[in-house]
Structure 1
Amino acid sequence: MASITPEEKYNIISRNLQEVLGKEQIETILKERDLNIYWGTAPTGKPHLGYFVPMTKLADFLEAGCHITVLIADIHAFLDNMKAPLDLVGKRAEYYTQLIKATLTSIGVPIERLKFVQGSSYQLTPEYALANMKICSKTTERDAKKAGAEVVKQVETPLLSGLMYPGMQALDEEFLGVDAQFGGIDQRKIFVFAEKMLPMLGYKKRSHLMNIMVPGLAGPKMSSSDPDSKIDLLEAPEDVKRKLSKAFCEEGNITENGILSFVKTVLFPLRSMNGKTPSFSILRPEKFGGDVTYTIYEDLENDFRDKKVHPGDLKKAVTEAINGLLAPIRKWFDNDELRKLTEEAYPTPKPEPKTKPAKSNKPAGNANLPIDISRLDIRVARIVEAKVHEANPNSYISTVDCGDGDVRTVVSGLAKYIPLEEMQNRLVCAICNLKPGKFQGVLSSAMLLAGSSADDAVVELLQPPAGLEAGDKIEFEGYGQADRSSPEKLNPKHLIFEKVSVDFTIGAEGKALYKGLEFTTKEGAVTLKSLKEGRIR
């Protein structure tokens, strides 16, 4: 790329990134030669639309003359809380390789200029094993957990495998012989860890390039573990339409809008590749304003904020755009060989054989268990979307994510207390092991916990601390928690919740309490917005 200057190369490399660590080091290298960069991905869940963001950056790197290694991190996929079992990880690595090549080809990126490497090809060598032992000898448990906090699945009692993950990702920079590593901003703590640790082992410090994260359709980021927050790269057209129709997209709301964010972070950058002028069109009847085409994202955002663009029209346009992006990828996989690979990598779960329950002499209804907080499965949950009950304006029907893909419908009588906009995309506390039952004609599968003043004039949802995710635990000192692997479904006839909840109170500091014990999470206590006393129901 002799025709462009080192400064121009750096501008291409760094455009649309959220952060660069080691800018000066990159600029120095570019004055002497082209940059060597690696981007890695662990083959766990099926890749989603968010992958288009790093794909566009790989195109930028190639334009700037960079040499790029794509790491299919199969060992990392296994180490991350065994998200990919050993018997599947090999097939998933093949699946990822094919899908990434299909995606890059669909947007015009020349894959012959990329080097694809599988992690196990060098991470199982004696040299790498010795280096791994050295970095482990200099890494504390605290530093390993901190480095992987945004990437490695966090559990109460982490496995050693997950603690090894950040160190191995740091070592990959040395063993792949690169100048810089590229990844999402969620990798930042691992990147900072790598900059600290590699020089301690006698290796040079690398630079780090960080992309923005694509927000999910109903949450902070698009995630392979949350089926409702993302659209797979092989999603069927009708499923794309269904998921987009359910996505949260409140009229005039530009701050909590996964649909708009996707247009900004994926569609406009894709359509501006190779110096093209991007365009995004919304087609609608003349009586609703007629067709409109945007070449600047901010113009679309401003029109949506001013309610000149309706959510339904935006969803329709984005649905058509996504299906257009995915069509060539679906075609790539439309053959017997890759269909077989897909089934081998992500086998269809086999239904468990039905067996008759064994007879037991134990008292029915777990009558021998204590009636206390340990009987309730209380979790942090996220309201994906809430709407007013058509038959009762005093109630809401909410779609609630209870974690690990467990999405439920919940009916609550909160409409006369809490504005609808305050019910959207927010964290709440939910009881998740009540037996589902019809409430106002709708099957409700959980209960949202709320506090109220003594006269019921003020009602507020319990408020978990920031930084939590759907499915995180709520615990009580001295009490175990209901077993989620084989949860007890509480029969309403036994009034377990009613008997336990008589000891729920709101403390003077606005904290939710059970028998004086705080509702505790890994980020702190559960509180209420304004109530300083009252009851929880």
Structure 2
Amino acid sequence: MEVTVKQDLNAGFYINLGSEMKPDLNIDQKLHLITRNLQEVLGEDKIKEILSKRDLKIYWGTATTGKPHVAYFVPLVKIADFLKADCEVTILFADLHAYLDNLKAPWELLAHRATYYAFLIKEMLKSINVPVEKLKFIKGTDYQLSKEYTLDVYKMLSLVSEHDAKKAGSEVVKQVEHPLLSGLVYPLLQALDEHYLGVDAQFGGVDQRKIFTFAEKYLPSLGYAKNSHLMNPMVPGLTGTKMSSSEEESKIDILDTPQAIKSKIKKAFCEPGNIENNGILSFLDFVIFPLSSDGTFTVQRSAKNGGDITYSDFQSVRNDFENQLLHPADLKAAFQNRLIDMLKPIRKAFESPELKKLMQLAYGNATDVDELKFQISNGFTIIDQSKPDSENNDIIPSKLDLRVGQIVSVENHPESENHLYVTKVDLGEPETRTIISGLAESFSKEELIHKKVIVLCNLKPAKLKGIQSFGMILCATDQDKKKELLEAPTFCEAGHKIVFEDYELNQPDAELKPKKRIWEKIQVDLKTDDQYYVNWKGHMMLTPGGTKIMTSQLKNATIS
């Protein structure tokens, strides 16, 4: 998409759709960007109060069920607004929700569908010049299966009535004659996500309103904050009803061929003069015009029908169509051409054999396809697991189970002559872990006690001089052999997961196999840079909230 500078007259300042350069925005300008074109906002006063102190934290979640369709551009355009307003935005691939919603995604396909969504939505964002590096991506099962989250689900179950749970999910969860209990749990999880993702506001369609008000009612019952909610209007599908993955004729899939797009648009509801429930007009309003490089939309017509006409705003298109000055056939032809051009770069990205295989794994017969591993990153690396490690570069940092641990006690190892410490570390588990370390040569007990450190948790347990050790406390070491503990920021809690940039969606191995020497191979490239940030091949080590882990004194140091 060609990038130009446009003036947003309502906001009173300039927005550049592709450049990093933009003026500082005041509170009212940020609030306008956050709330414009929404159908409803719950808690706007709270949003304004937060903006007076810091940037807003927002999350948008999507259940990984059917193949994403073009209506997904509507929330993505709004996410672009959030980023322009300096918001911290998290995109949640709600794989567990997809399973709970009447098994729309079978359990064995959850991982593949979440990966497919991640690849496709990142390509959609890139196609409209949304900087994906400014977004945080997370998969629901990365945290929704934790002990703390599960306990909160049980607490919610003891508070919520069947009536309230059914009502909350009535517009979102598929309604059937004999509903499963999983559909009643769905709204509880969506409410809890707000707390566990650490956000101030949740964004979604207006069809989510009942779940949003459910969250506002029940989260305070658990002692959690009541958050704000931002609601997009619902865009009608091609049949005049909601665009839905389950209704084939109502939607255009992102990867539909040009021929399929033309066929679907030809049959789309577009009655002359009728502007109600018109999916084409709505898509023009919420996607085509906001993303237009020059703010225009051109309809090509024969001279007999008035000749070509270029519209500079949506209202003019709407008025001409309502007054029957614009024929449905001409509108459909112009719309389909613009849409085909818009989807072209995404379709091109999915021409690779690997991504075609991913689509077959997610939506076809997975047993007929060789198993692949997909690393979700800005580079979209795909690893063929049918090849040995030496051939497919299977050494990636997300294999490491890294967590924040707080040292609660330090003692000398009775058999080490003061060279080893026996430390007890709180990792958010029912019991503290015992870790044997060589920290005694560099740190006193007083320097270690109560420190929040980074712990490698999935090493195979090893017995050191008669005492079993269950992990490794990481340190930085420079060329002069100076050591510094790898410490977590003070706001982190014991058990918080530490990840690497672009690898947030990958799951660590349950246990690193010593014979494969995975830790040793990863550790070679695990270093601090000249700005003191810890990284693996340029991928920054991050807290759950995206804060970079760094040392205070040692740059260009190794981590071990």
Quickly name the TM-score band, shorter chain normalised.
Answer: 0.5 to 0.7
Counterpart of 1:419 in structure 2 is: none
Counterpart of 2:39 in structure 1 is: 18
Counterpart of 1:47 in structure 2 is: 68
| Counterpart mapping for 1:72-83 below 5 A | 72-83=93-104
Is 1:125 the equivalent of 2:142? no
- Give 3-state SS (helix, strand or coil) of 1:221's partner: coil
Counterpart of 2:228 in structure 1 is: 207
Following superposition, the deviation at residue 136 of structure 1 comes to 1.0
Single out whichever of 21-30 and 302-311 deviates more from structure 2. 302-311
Counterpart of 2:549 in structure 1 is: none
Is 1:316 the equivalent of 2:333? yes
Cα distance between partner residues in 2 of 1:212 and 1:112:
27
Counterpart of 2:168 in structure 1 is: 147
- Give 3-state SS (helix, strand or coil) of 1:232's partner: coil
- Give 3-state SS (helix, strand or coil) of 1:251's partner: coil
Is 1:185 the equivalent of 2:202? no
State the Cα deviation string for residues 493-515 of structure 1 (Å, max 9, x = none).
xxxxxxxxxxxxxxxxxxxxxxx
- Give 3-state SS (helix, strand or coil) of 1:182's partner: strand
Could you tell me which of 80, 89, 99 is aligned with 2:120? 99
Runs of 4+ deviating beyond 4 Å: none
Following superposition, the deviation at residue 123 of structure 1 comes to 0.3
Counterpart of 2:382 in structure 1 is: none
Following superposition, the deviation at residue 171 of structure 1 comes to 0.2
Cα distance between partner residues in 2 of 1:228 and 1:182:
27
Following superposition, the deviation at residue 220 of structure 1 comes to 2.1
Query: Relative to structure 1, is the Cα distance of residues 32 and 256 closer, same or farther in structure 2, using a 3 angstrom cutoff?
Result: closer
Counterpart of 2:344 in structure 1 is: 327
Cα distance between partner residues in 1 of 2:323 and 2:94:
45
Cα distance between partner residues in 2 of 1:83 and 1:269:
32
Q: Contact (CA 8 Å) 2:165, 2:184: kept in 1 or not?
A: yes
Following superposition, the deviation at residue 89 of structure 1 comes to 1.3
Counterpart of 1:519 in structure 2 is: none
The amino acid that maps onto 1:27 is K
Query: Relative to structure 1, is the Cα distance of residues 349 and 117 closer, same or farther in structure 2, using a 3 angstrom cutoff?
Result: closer
Could you tell me which of 2, 5, 26 is aligned with 1:5? 26
Is 1:32 the equivalent of 2:53? yes
Following superposition, the deviation at residue 3 of structure 1 comes to 1.4
| Counterpart mapping for 1:437-476 below 5 A | none
The amino acid that maps onto 1:346 is Y
Following superposition, the deviation at residue 258 of structure 1 comes to 2.0
Counterpart of 1:286 in structure 2 is: 303
The amino acid that maps onto 2:76 is M
| Counterpart mapping for 1:295-444 below 5 A | 295-347=312-364
Following superposition, the deviation at residue 7 of structure 1 comes to 1.3
The amino acid that maps onto 2:306 is G
Counterpart of 1:84 in structure 2 is: 105
Cα distance between partner residues in 1 of 2:95 and 2:366:
22
Cα distance between partner residues in 2 of 1:65 and 1:237:
36
Cα distance between partner residues in 2 of 1:67 and 1:296:
30
Query: Relative to structure 1, is the Cα distance of residues 267 and 140 closer, same or farther in structure 2, using a 3 angstrom cutoff?
Result: same
Following superposition, the deviation at residue 233 of structure 1 comes to 0.6
Counterpart of 2:449 in structure 1 is: none
- Give 3-state SS (helix, strand or coil) of 2:92's partner: strand
The amino acid that maps onto 1:145 is K
- Give 3-state SS (helix, strand or coil) of 1:78's partner: helix
Is 1:176 the equivalent of 2:176? no
State the Cα deviation string for residues 229-267 of structure 1 (Å, max 9, x = none).
000011100000000001111112222422222212221
Cα distance between partner residues in 2 of 1:209 and 1:2:
25
Is 1:64 the equivalent of 2:81? no
Q: Contact (CA 8 Å) 2:240, 2:278: kept in 1 or not?
A: no
Query: Relative to structure 1, is the Cα distance of residues 341 and 349 closer, same or farther in structure 2, using a 3 angstrom cutoff?
Result: closer
State the Cα deviation string for residues 401-453 of structure 1 (Å, max 9, x = none).
xxxxxxxxxxxxxxxxxxxxxxxxxxxxxxxxxxxxxxxxxxxxxxxxxxxxx
Cα distance between partner residues in 2 of 1:282 and 1:296:
13
Query: Relative to structure 1, is the Cα distance of residues 2 and 252 closer, same or farther in structure 2, using a 3 angstrom cutoff?
Result: closer
Following superposition, the deviation at residue 6 of structure 1 comes to 1.2
Cα distance between partner residues in 1 of 2:323 and 2:25:
42
Cα distance between partner residues in 2 of 1:233 and 1:295:
26
Cα distance between partner residues in 2 of 1:82 and 1:339:
24
Following superposition, the deviation at residue 277 of structure 1 comes to 4.8
- Give 3-state SS (helix, strand or coil) of 2:66's partner: coil
- Give 3-state SS (helix, strand or coil) of 2:138's partner: strand
Cα distance between partner residues in 1 of 2:126 and 2:95:
23
The amino acid that maps onto 1:328 is P
- Give 3-state SS (helix, strand or coil) of 1:228's partner: helix
Cα distance between partner residues in 2 of 1:2 and 1:278:
21
The amino acid that maps onto 1:335 is S
Aligned residues: 347
The amino acid that maps onto 1:344 is L
Cα distance between partner residues in 1 of 2:365 and 2:255:
16
The amino acid that maps onto 1:258 is G
Cα distance between partner residues in 1 of 2:279 and 2:144:
37
Q: TM-score, normalised by structure 1?
A: 0.63
Is 1:247 the equivalent of 2:268? yes
Following superposition, the deviation at residue 2 of structure 1 comes to 7.7
- Give 3-state SS (helix, strand or coil) of 1:298's partner: helix
Following superposition, the deviation at residue 303 of structure 1 comes to 1.0
Report sequence identity in percent: 58
Following superposition, the deviation at residue 270 of structure 1 comes to 2.2
| Counterpart mapping for 1:217-236 below 5 A | 217-236=238-257
Cα distance between partner residues in 2 of 1:250 and 1:65:
41
Cα distance between partner residues in 2 of 1:258 and 1:4:
34
Query: Relative to structure 1, is the Cα distance of residues 298 and 45 closer, same or farther in structure 2, using a 3 angstrom cutoff?
Result: same
Query: Relative to structure 1, is the Cα distance of residues 134 and 45 closer, same or farther in structure 2, using a 3 angstrom cutoff?
Result: same
The amino acid that maps onto 1:60 is D
In structure 2, list runs of 5 or more residues that go unmatched.
1-21, 368-560
Cα distance between partner residues in 2 of 1:258 and 1:174:
35
Query: Relative to structure 1, is the Cα distance of residues 302 and 348 closer, same or farther in structure 2, using a 3 angstrom cutoff?
Result: farther
Cα distance between partner residues in 2 of 1:303 and 1:219:
20
In structure 1, list runs of 5 or more residues that go unmatched.
351-537
